[in-house]
Amino acid sequence: MTHHSPGYCKRYRLDVARGIDRSPRPITDVRPHVVALMAAGGSARAIGEAASCSPTTVRQIAAGQTSSVKRPLAARLLRVRVQDLLNRDRPRDRLPATGAVRRVQALLALGHSHATITAAMPGPHQSLDVMGTRQRWVFRDMHHAVVAAYERLSMTPGRSRITRTRALAKGYVPPLAWDDDTIDDPTVAPYRPTPDEPLVDVDVDHAALARALAGDLPRRLTPTERAVVVRELTIRGVPAATIADRLGVTERTVERDRRTTTTSWSTAS
């Protein structure tokens, strides 16, 4: 149906009569979001599939080659999130590489060798392939293989001191530096304490801790503050699921904090 067909014109008049805004949205409303998705590693194809439009349209919007975007398309594009690009279901779909690279780096910083990480990855995948990529994305099956290895190994210190030393020298950080809900986000930086800083009881906002312990979370806690709260609530017998809900993190994050509160950074140093 073209813009000049009787059916389109009738629908347009009906929408106007109902007060539905059919006017295009300016490119400035949409372009920054599309550019951010691409900067996060999203391909034009992936974004287009998520928003039901062509990769060419996505590229044109990202390049600012149009002055406006049809309102329905603008709404679909603005609804796309990085997580949507990670949830594509075909094995050879391409996903942002950020999360896979960070997970492998974290396991190396924990002392797991590439051989150990690869052995924990399902399928014919190798962790070295992730570290060797210069692209902004990886295939979906590779991403999920890395996630599976990370879930199996991230709570257990590795056996290779050489691997750990080399990883830390390169600036890699262990799993405790990441939250499960931010490790895939390229705009979030890892938590980096000084080499001799214990994980708990330093540089914390005690007022924020008191409120969090009382069930009133004033803001997102730092990893240090969260570890203190997790430790205290665990001592009080509060279940991990309840702690996770109270702190706005995953239950896995709570379990990792419980296991590594006083050991992860000292193990990695």
Regarding whether 120 and 172 lie in a shared domain, the answer is yes
Please check whether residue 184 lies inside any domain of the structure.
no
Please check whether residue 190 lies inside any domain of the structure.
no
β-pairing, 137-139 with 94-96?
antiparallel
- In terms of Cβ atoms closer than 10 Å to its own Cβ (0-12, 13-18, 19+), residue 96 is buried
Hey, what amino acid is at 77? Answer: L
Q: How many CB atoms lie within 10 A of CB 155?
A: 17
Of 86, 118, 147, the residue that ends a domain is 86
Count of residues in the chain: 269
Please check whether residue 163 lies inside any domain of the structure.
yes
Regarding whether 173 and 98 lie in a shared domain, the answer is yes
Please check whether residue 246 lies inside any domain of the structure.
yes
pTM for the model:
0.55
Regarding whether 249 and 225 lie in a shared domain, the answer is yes
Regarding whether 58 and 18 lie in a shared domain, the answer is yes
pLDDT value of position 265: 42
pLDDT value of position 15: 64
Please check whether residue 182 lies inside any domain of the structure.
no
Regarding whether 64 and 13 lie in a shared domain, the answer is yes
Regarding whether 168 and 98 lie in a shared domain, the answer is yes
Please check whether residue 33 lies inside any domain of the structure.
yes
Please state the domain count of the chain: 3
Among the ranges 117-131, 164-178, 199-213, 235-249, which has the highest mean pLDDT value? Answer: 117-131
Regarding whether 80 and 27 lie in a shared domain, the answer is yes
Average confidence (pLDDT) over 146-168: 90
User: For a pLDDT cut of 70, what percent of the chain falls above it?
Assistant: 78
Residues spanned by the domain of 101: 94-177
Regarding whether 108 and 54 lie in a shared domain, the answer is no
Regarding whether 171 and 102 lie in a shared domain, the answer is yes
Regarding whether 71 and 111 lie in a shared domain, the answer is no
Of 135, 157, 177, the residue that ends a domain is 177
Residue labelled with tokens 């330093």: 202
> pLDDT confidence of 12, banded at 50, 70, 90?
low
Regarding whether 104 and 81 lie in a shared domain, the answer is no
pLDDT at 120 over 50: yes
Report pLDDT digits (tens) over 124-148: 889 988 887 566 778 888 999 999 9
Please check whether residue 185 lies inside any domain of the structure.
no
Say if residues 48 and 59 touch (Cβ distance below 8 Å).
no
What are the distances in angstroms from CA 198 to CA 203, 207, 256, 260? Answer: 10, 20, 16, 11
Q: How many whole angstroms from its chain centre is CA 207?
A: 29
Please check whether residue 42 lies inside any domain of the structure.
yes
Mean of pLDDT over the chain: 80
pLDDT value of position 266: 43
Of 177, 192, 217, the residue that ends a domain is 177
Regarding whether 82 and 113 lie in a shared domain, the answer is no
In the structure encoding, which two tokens stand for residue 142, read together? Answer: 């590779």
